[in-house]
Structure 1
């Protein structure tokens, strides 16, 4: 039996892509047709490299997006100005390391406008281009299954903060209503939709570090309610959700534990659950799934990260096998897909992992998954 492989979504972008994205970001002159051609070509190359690495369920690498969350400012009205920057609490505890990151260019620079007006769609032109590029590339390379990332209402509210709606809940509701059509369009095109939800973990030590864990979990529950509302007309078996604590190399000593966010995560209307389990701060948390086996709904498929995305170590395939087997022992081989901890190109032009090494990691992931399937 085979174990399928995938990853979280974003992949390294070549320099031509980055240059076009930042020309648009900075309102510098550029040729729109050349932009579109560049993105289509880059997506085709990205899908080809995923196939060559052995990835079964592919994405467009989020090629055309400035980042996984703030891209919405270009597709929806209501955003202007700038949001305050909130460094994660763990980095504040180690100011010398935070300074080193800043001095070395280790933190990405991109616009994070505030919500200053009603959030409504500007139309789905950019989304349709992304969908067409991915589907064309899948057809060219004989890929049957693909997914496209989309920002969750909660992660938008984390990075593009509210200065218009009367309450955070009202802002979340407006975002859910606005994003609903995007999720439905992705699925209607024959792709799975992946909702990126670091707001369910990262935001604990980035935006809500003055609250208790119980108070934060109440907020996170509200984020899941807003997301589920937006997904009400999307079949659950076409939905993936990804939770993370921030895709950066850092101490992560303030991360809320998986044991605390487990119930919130399982409450999302998503069949596929993607989460970190390779980095040193969360590698032990496979035991949460073991100990809470009875609380994992029977229709959930676990997609543990079996390769890390913040270091340039290439995992040995045998390590990947061991990581996969832990979850196979919990829910069975048919309910495990091998994935990555997070994305390799979370922000355009920024990534801790060298592009060639990123694909070497995906090759190791695929090799390990193949071995695990053969030994089951």
Structure 2
């Protein structure tokens, strides 16, 4: 029996104390740095302990200290100021009453999204090194053997922090790739796996590029992968994970581009582990894309299907998890499948539709389902 390893996409629910500190920093309010640092360290230790208890094999720091998976870069890199235009997903614009309900109910997170108004360069790696130290300490404390740390891709930064400085989009992507390269290499040098968050390869189709055809969008997505691969030029592919998604929100998702359209783009990335959504009702059928295009999946790739959903409080039965995994192990075998989640459970600080305790119950079910699937594959 080859054990199917378990992991998730990265972000996990934060405590109110963590959220309060993050928004104090975000809003320029007074706080004690030593107290902030101590709080982050405590919380990372707790989330790693809970992942280990839930049976997760490859753990993360829960993205504890970050305001969000993409906009945290504004605090670590120069060149960002002002505010970027908000672009609601096209599917929500088709259902304005639902969009209003989300907004009125606090279902749309509020945080700063400055624009790129100057040259993008590294400020320092102080926050990054603190995140790494907290994760490695927590792993040692709780016996976690393998960990990963998230980082924003050049493409997703360009999606949320839009360009008002560089002459062309390609120039902005190139600058972001060069700036982010150091962050990626530091994470790898610390002995952690690197996860690149890339919703720009799918979500941006119906946010920023909804006036284009699918083929025109795919051409842009390919330039995003080219920039990412450049940033990874000194990083071993076997240590890299890439997450693609269509937006971590409950909604109609009727404007999502299909996996069949972005499949080739995904396979071109310099990442061994490919994380993607397969649990939500809009994309659950797309496991057949991988089945039908098995010959086009490089032997070096490991599939990380999301076998638990991150937008509802249903706790998936372990047998459901196992059945979802069965579909992929039948295609590439146990050793090339890692069980994951559709997306994160704490994508934005203070925002998440899944109750924290239920999020860990889902991770426990994930592990139980992976064990079932491992035994029968």
TM-score, scaled relative to structure 1 = 1.00
Counterpart in the other structure of 1:245: 246
The CA distance in 1 between the partners of 2:354 and 2:72, in whole Å, is 22
How far 1:375 sits from its partner (Å)?
1.8
Counterpart in the other structure of 2:328: 327
The CA distance in 2 between the partners of 1:141 and 1:353, in whole Å, is 25
- The Cα offsets for residues 166-204 of structure 1, whole Å up to 9 and x where unpaired, read as 000000000000000000000000000000000000000
Counterpart in the other structure of 1:65: 66
Q: How does 1:24-63 map to 2 (within 5 A)?
A: 24-63=25-64
How far 1:374 sits from its partner (Å)?
1.6
Counterpart in the other structure of 2:269: 268
Counterpart in the other structure of 1:17: 18
The CA distance in 1 between the partners of 2:325 and 2:216, in whole Å, is 33
Counterpart in the other structure of 2:237: 236
Matching of residue 292 in structure 1 with residue 293 in structure 2: yes
The CA distance in 2 between the partners of 1:177 and 1:87, in whole Å, is 29
The CA distance in 2 between the partners of 1:139 and 1:355, in whole Å, is 24
Q: How does 1:1-376 map to 2 (within 5 A)?
A: 1=1, 2-376=3-377
The CA distance in 1 between the partners of 2:273 and 2:331, in whole Å, is 15
- Secondary structure of 1:67's partner? coil
The CA distance in 2 between the partners of 1:349 and 1:316, in whole Å, is 27
- Secondary structure of 2:363's partner? helix
- The Cα offsets for residues 301-349 of structure 1, whole Å up to 9 and x where unpaired, read as 0000000000110000000000000000000111000000000000000
- The Cα offsets for residues 204-253 of structure 1, whole Å up to 9 and x where unpaired, read as 00000000011000000000000000000000000000000000000000
- Secondary structure of 2:20's partner? helix
The CA distance in 2 between the partners of 1:214 and 1:258, in whole Å, is 13
Q: Paired residues, what number?
A: 376
The CA distance in 1 between the partners of 2:17 and 2:334, in whole Å, is 41
The CA distance in 1 between the partners of 2:200 and 2:326, in whole Å, is 29
- The Cα offsets for residues 57-102 of structure 1, whole Å up to 9 and x where unpaired, read as 0000000000000000000000000000000000000000000000
- The Cα offsets for residues 230-278 of structure 1, whole Å up to 9 and x where unpaired, read as 0000000000000000000000000000000000000000000000000
User: Unaligned 5+ residue runs, structure 1?
Assistant: none
- Secondary structure of 2:124's partner? coil
- Secondary structure of 1:338's partner? strand
The CA distance in 1 between the partners of 2:197 and 2:63, in whole Å, is 12
The CA distance in 2 between the partners of 1:352 and 1:284, in whole Å, is 24
4+ residue stretches of structure 1 with deviation over 2 A?
A: none
- Secondary structure of 1:321's partner? helix
The CA distance in 2 between the partners of 1:64 and 1:116, in whole Å, is 25
